[in-house]
Structure 1
Amino acid sequence: MTKDPIIINAPASKSLSHRTLIAAALAKGVSEISSALDSDDITRTRGCLTACGASIVEKDGVLVVTGMEDGPEGGNADGKRKDEAPHELFMHESGTTCRLMTAVAAAGKGTFRVHGAPRMHERPMAELTGALSGLGTKFDFEGEKGFLPFVMTANGYKKKNVEITLEESSQYLSGLLLGAPMADHEVTITVTGKKAVSWPYVALTLRIMEDFKAGFSVEVLEGREWKPVPWRSIKHVTPGHVRFIVRPTGYQNTGYAVEGDWSNASYFLAAGAVGPRPVMIKGLAADSLQGDRAIMDILSQMGASIKVNFDGILVEPGRLRGVEVDMGRCPDLVPTVSAVAAFASSPTTITNVAHLRIKETDRLAACAAEVARTGCETETTDDSLIIRPSALPRGREVEFKTYNDHRLAMSMSLFELADMKVSLDNPACVGKSFPGFFDEWKKITG
């Protein structure tokens, strides 16, 4: 007899919450944003937007955002006292906030001191600071060039052309796209480099820009000629063959509801695949542009049953097998899939994920080390992770390190469904993206 499913409501999308609040803050007038995520990372973005001149007030569960009018403004901006200190943009450990807000603040005027937690100061920023330097922004690095902390003197995007790669992160491009409508002229952004990762996150940026009426077009190189294409038609990017023409339209204020988060829902969808009971997730858009909706396809390939209906996404357990899967488009799912792979009957190989090494931790090495604590054999290469399952130590306590990484903490929790007692060294780190995770997780573990 089929057991009744456990019902879980998906949290709001972190990626879309960042981008929606930025667009609302850049718009003139007042926007009302409902269902935005409340987490440590979103708090950092809100703080940076407030430092740049926006007002964000919570009223009856809705964020009322009053825009900056003329764009981000920091200390020493036109008309300010020359001895005024730079405005502080504190990123803590939010890489998304750091990359998006650095590019957005550079589209304004004034000086900004950009800094964060120690791990944030280890994460590369040279690709973005180099592109912004080419647009006219000046950087005074307090330590190593290309890394936080630094003082940035912004005077808007002064040039009309800029190149950026997507080899390390798609967020560099997203930041430039979000800032470009604030220029006083058209800006052309061309994707260069050898490969492009995490394209779906750029699609989320374009969606928010479109919804807040920022003007842009996308062109692809056919032969020697650039031709416009609908942005939604692009499923992957070939460097050197895609460019974005962003018009100086600014943004229009609007009311906006943030959709559910496929990244944070992935742990519950995975629970339906590996646990004893089906799990139904409500609040997800099955046709979402979020790249992490790929979790449905991956779990299905591994042998779980996935059903989409008007109530939500239903995942039922099945006999799981290993897969070989390119996760360059959905790197945030790697911890989830690596944990599920331990429950399978054959090895799993995850490829094209070198960029995971510059996340909150070296997430590739961390996934290998922590899954190995369950008795599995794991192996990493420069850009891949292999998991060879073994009998799981049911009935035993296993201590996992989180590396202060929210996604490690949430994904390792899946091993509770193998009758293990999971001990995490820092469970509170889930507050970065999903403060209520363990309250929801109790519904899974009973």
Structure 2
Amino acid sequence: MSKKPIIINAPASKSLSHRTLIAAALANGLSRISSALDSDDITRTRDCLTNCGADIKEENGDLIVRGMTDGPRGGNADGKNKDEAPHELFMHESGTTCRLMTAVAAAGHGSFNVHGAPRMHERPMGELTRALEKLGSTFDYQGEKGHLPFIMTSKGYTGKSVNITLEESSQYLSGLLLGAPLADHSVTINVTGEKAVSWPYVALTLRIMEDFKASFVVESKKSGSWKEVPWRSLKTARPGQTRFIVEPSGYQATDYRVEGDWSNASYFMAAGAVGKRPVLLKGLAADSLQGDRAIMDILSQMGASIQVTFDGILVEPANLRGVTVDMGRCPDLVPTVSAAAAFASSPTVIENVAHLRIKETDRLAACAEEASKSGAETDITGDSLIIRPGRLRKGETIDFTTYGDHRMAMSMSLFQLANIDTQFDNPACVGKSFPGFWDEWAKITG
């Protein structure tokens, strides 16, 4: 290796920070959470949890979480004060907070005013609210049915069985799983629909539930009968053939350290592949259950040189080639891969990503539009994005649109490594998941 690598410390996992804080807040007793991410989205989840009755304090860089003794409590939770206002669950633009916390609050008692920023009110929630109605909650929609804002009134999960699809988002299932241990009976969650996306995020949920001592089993249907399977052996949830049986175990307080985030590390790994200097990523678990660990495999298929060392994960510059890749399990990587693909020598086809249309923005259209500004040709066909590399517009100034989407800003910054002067309309949007991004990125750009 000719050049000294740029060293980057990966930020804490956003997905695991959400789930860890929720489990700690639902447990009896005190949990100490270290290395949790500090970002806009995590702040939303923290605020929702404290509004439901948890106590979260910072101490020496850790979060000390005192769990709710009786589960989430909303306004008029005990039925005595009919005039008590619903408790505020303000989601802003955090889709993860919205889907997880709505399902978790429904496992509690009382009424909750669930609302967010205008874009959050456009994103679908009908699949989850239908499931929560089946479990006993009622919804008073303030606008369009199946969307925020709404007033949700709950008496816990009174139903014993519910169906959910993973076609739009795996977070509906994750939310139900996180709420189910609070019921006073076992709850069976059946996966239905045509296909399942983003399964690795469900695996992260199960890992946190297991680590905080919630009791559950996963069953697969084989030859017409249900058989328990080790959850870590599953690569997806097959609709009609996968179900989860969650016991009324609650959660136990646990001290927990949050691992590094593969999603936010992806921009730096791609920088190591397309830039001039190697990049060494520290703080990542190479055997992580995070689905976005796939960035290592995708960049390797494209020709990048990647080594897992005792010091971290080392990515060295290489001439990339295009690939055809199914990214249904790792949709948050699509902006990174679409930018890296513009540096390649041949076309890249990203398949099975129709669900990107309901992210912070229509992320499928956004990736096509912004990657094309670099000189590539892009097309969207059905659920696929195609990037045909062209002559990179080196030496030019290009105005990139972020759409207020943190992942668009971070991924399109890769074009700085093609000697393009990148200008962003809203660079501060990275605060949603990675407030320190631009300081870390300055190490890459020098």
Q: Same fold by TM (over 0.5)?
A: yes
Corresponding residue number in structure 2 for 1:149: 149
CA distance, structure 2, for counterparts of residue 96 and residue 354 of structure 1: 18
After TM superposition, the structure 1 = structure 2 runs for residues 25-424 of structure 1, keeping only pairs within 5 Å, are 25-424=25-424
- Paired letter, 2:316: E
Task: Name the % identity.
Answer: 77
- Paired letter, 1:19: R
Task: Give a deviation string over 1:285-339, Cα, whole Å, max 9, x none.
Answer: 0000000000000000001000001110000111100000000000000000000
How many pairs align? 446
CA distance, structure 1, for counterparts of residue 79 and residue 235 of structure 2: 45
- Paired letter, 1:27: A
Q: TM-score, normalised by structure 1?
A: 1.00
Q: Does 1:16 align with 2:7?
A: no
- Paired letter, 2:50: T
The Cα shift of 1:382 comes to: 2.6
Q: What SS does the aligned partner of 2:118 have?
A: coil
- Paired letter, 1:107: A
CA distance, structure 2, for counterparts of residue 160 and residue 320 of structure 1: 51
Question: CA RMSD for the aligned pairs?
Answer: 0.6
Structure 1 stretches of 4+ moved >4 Å? none
Q: TM-score, normalised by structure 2?
A: 1.00
Corresponding residue number in structure 1 for 2:430: 430
The Cα shift of 1:80 comes to: 4.2
CA distance, structure 2, for counterparts of residue 282 and residue 135 of structure 1: 43
Task: Give a deviation string over 1:66-105, Cα, whole Å, max 9, x none.
Answer: 0001100000111541100000000000000000000000
Q: What SS does the aligned partner of 1:119 have?
A: helix
Structure 2, gaps ≥5 residues long: none
- Paired letter, 1:306: I
CA distance, structure 2, for counterparts of residue 367 and residue 133 of structure 1: 36
Report the CA distance shift for 1:372/1:3 in structure 2 as closer, same or farther (over 3 A). Answer: same
Q: What SS does the aligned partner of 1:303 have?
A: coil
Task: Give a deviation string over 1:92-150, Cα, whole Å, max 9, x none.
Answer: 00000000000000000000000000000000000000000001100000011000000
CA distance, structure 2, for counterparts of residue 76 and residue 320 of structure 1: 59
- Paired letter, 2:232: R
CA distance, structure 2, for counterparts of residue 238 and residue 188 of structure 1: 15
Task: Give a deviation string over 1:189-245, Cα, whole Å, max 9, x none.
Answer: 000000000000000000000000000000000011100010000012210000000
Q: What SS does the aligned partner of 2:81 have?
A: coil
- Paired letter, 1:264: N
- Paired letter, 1:324: T
CA distance, structure 2, for counterparts of residue 78 and residue 445 of structure 1: 57
Task: Give a deviation string over 1:331-375, Cα, whole Å, max 9, x none.
Answer: 000000000000000000000000000000000000000011111
30-39 or 236-245: bigger deviation: 236-245
